[in-house]
């Protein structure tokens, strides 16, 4: 056997040994989500029931699904939901103007205090995502009460059914109460539904195998530090696409995100626009589309009167706090906010100076630039910015590579600084340089 044949055989053996258990665990996890949500959909599809009974069913099945997945830690999720409901009622007695702000403050403070003083790090890592989804739902209800989108406060079963809905209580994505309520009324019966679930399940398994087996294999440790950083960051991105695709599986199994003629209208992430990015601004938008919409509607727009930079900084600060009291998440999210702000303004100046379509977001069809998006100059400039974005993604994503024990207990300050120090703080220096040039233009 020559070296090439031996390499192919060893590679296939490695992928098989890694892929089979990975696929087994992925499908085992998916099974619980699919069965619970199929049960939920079948009941509300075929059994005529009053409005509040539907919400009660959502609350009950969601509670069982949560308990089955996170065990006794489930009490922290229920505690957050119950405490928030009582707080909204209490605050509403005193004022009807700043409920959103006060409840947001209480919810975020609850998350931080639980993480720091109450729960152990391993348990918090297991329930962090669940708590974040619940927190986003609670805050959106409080702010929409202030905006007059509800005639009155939701009753307990409406609130509980929404917050603990089985379709998105484990993996998300966030949806508004109005959207949740609308999907409860959707009726359909078509094989397209099963096809949508199956396609998204296959996609999620592909991303899981890429994350665990393929990406770590095709670039080994002997590569340059930037290649290794790109590999680790890409493996993390693939794991994010897995979670996003699995959340679509969960939602569609419950019949959420589907129209009456059973067409999907649910978009959680856009992998191609992240792996081949135009700009960091678009990566931020397409990384988690529902969360971007939540931050835009409930944080950014609220802070707009105080200026663009304050709005962006506050948005990323809130996002960071929702992810927990974690230096790594905070450092990465605030860095993304800063880099995006610099890139957006720098590209605006370049586009004006060169009269070329190279804004952070694509130009509209009838833009006033002399050099349109298909011109040679536009292609060259946008390619340069795409390469810069790819470098930023490697620099920021390398943070999330660590041993399993570190991932279970959380990332330390030392881990974060050590990773960036190894890359000579390149992206921070590049952003600072671009900002100086922007000020001089």
**Nearest-angstrom CA–CA distance, 302 and 288:** 20
pLDDT at 197: 94
Angle of CA points 156, 177, 245, to nearest 5°: 120
pLDDT at 8: 53
pLDDT at 119: 66
pLDDT at 7: 52
pLDDT at 321: 86
284 upstream amide cis, omega within 30 of 0: no
Q: Answer whether 78's CB lies under 8 Å from 65's CB.
A: no
pLDDT at 31: 95
Alpha helices in 95-190 (DSSP H): 99-113, 121-146, 156-163, 177-185
Q: How confident is the model at residue 405 (pLDDT cuts 50, 70, 90)?
A: very low
Q: Which two tokens stand for residue 69?
A: 């997945």
Q: Which two tokens stand for residue 172?
A: 């998300």
Q: How confident is the model at residue 406 (pLDDT cuts 50, 70, 90)?
A: very low
Residue 191 has pLDDT above 60, yes or no: yes
**Nearest-angstrom CA–CA distance, 88 and 138:** 9
Q: Answer whether 209's CB lies under 8 Å from 23's CB.
A: yes
Burial of 136 (0-12, 13-18, 19+ CB in 10 A): buried
Q: Answer whether 271's CB lies under 8 Å from 241's CB.
A: yes
Q: Which of 60-74, 159-173, 394-408 has the lowest mean pLDDT?
A: 394-408
Q: What is the pLDDT of residues 245-258, one digit of tens each?
A: 999 999 999 999 88
pLDDT at 97: 84
């Amino acid at each position: 056997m020559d070296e090439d044949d031996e390499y192919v055989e060893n590679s296939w053996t490695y992928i098989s040994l890694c892929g089979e258990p990975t696929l087994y665990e992925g499908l085992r996890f998916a099974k619980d989500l699919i069965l619970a949500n199929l049960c939920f959909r079948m009941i509300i599809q075929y059994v005529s029931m009053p409005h509040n009974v539907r919400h009660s069913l959502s609350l009950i099945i969601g509670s069982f699904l949560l308990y089955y997945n996170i065990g006794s830690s489930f009490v922290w999720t229920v505690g957050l939901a119950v405490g928030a409901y009582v707080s909204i009622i209490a605050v509403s007695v005193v004022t009807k103007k700043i409920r959103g702000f006060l409840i947001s403050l209480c919810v975020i403070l609850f998350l931080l205090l639980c993480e720091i003083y109450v729960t152990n790090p391993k348990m918090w890592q297991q329930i962090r995502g669940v708590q974040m989804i619940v927190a986003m739902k609670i805050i959106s209800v409080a702010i929409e009460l202030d905006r007059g989108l509800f005639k009155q406060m939701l009753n307990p079963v409406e609130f509980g059914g929404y917050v603990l809905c089985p379709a998105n209580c484990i993996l998300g994505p966030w949806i508004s109460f109005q959207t949740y309520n609308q999907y409860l009324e959707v009726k359909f019966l078509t094989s397209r539904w099963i096809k949508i679930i199956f396609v998204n399940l296959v996609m999620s398994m592909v991303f899981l195998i890429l994350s665990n087996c393929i990406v770590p294999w095709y670039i080994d440790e002997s590569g340059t530090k930037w290649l290794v950083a790109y590999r680790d960051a890409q493996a993390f991105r693939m794991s994010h696409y897995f979670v996003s695709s699995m959340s679509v599986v969960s939602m569609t199994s419950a019949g959420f995100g589907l129209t009456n003629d059973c067409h999907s209208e649910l978009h959680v992430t856009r992998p191609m626009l992240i792996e081949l990015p135009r700009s960091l601004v678009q990566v931020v938008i397409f990384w988690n589309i529902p969360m971007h919409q939540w931050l835009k509607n409930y944080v950014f727009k609220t802070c707009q009167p105080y200026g663009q930079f304050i709005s962006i900084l506050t948005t990323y600060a809130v996002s960071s706090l929702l992810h927990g009291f974690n230096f790594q998440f905070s450092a990465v999210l605030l860095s993304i906010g800063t880099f995006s702000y610099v890139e957006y303004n720098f590209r605006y100046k370049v586009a004006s100076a060169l009269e070329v379509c190279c804004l952070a977001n694509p130009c509209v069809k009838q833009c006033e630039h002399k050099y349109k998006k298909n011109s040679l100059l536009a292609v060259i400039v946008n390619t340069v910015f795409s390469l810069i974005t790819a470098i930023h993604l490697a620099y920021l994503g390398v943070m999330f590579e660590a041993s399993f024990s570190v991932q279970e207990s959380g990332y330390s300050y030392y881990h974060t600084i050590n990773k960036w120090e190894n890359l000579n703080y390149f992206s921070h220096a590049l952003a600072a340089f671009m900002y100086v040039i922007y000020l001089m233009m």
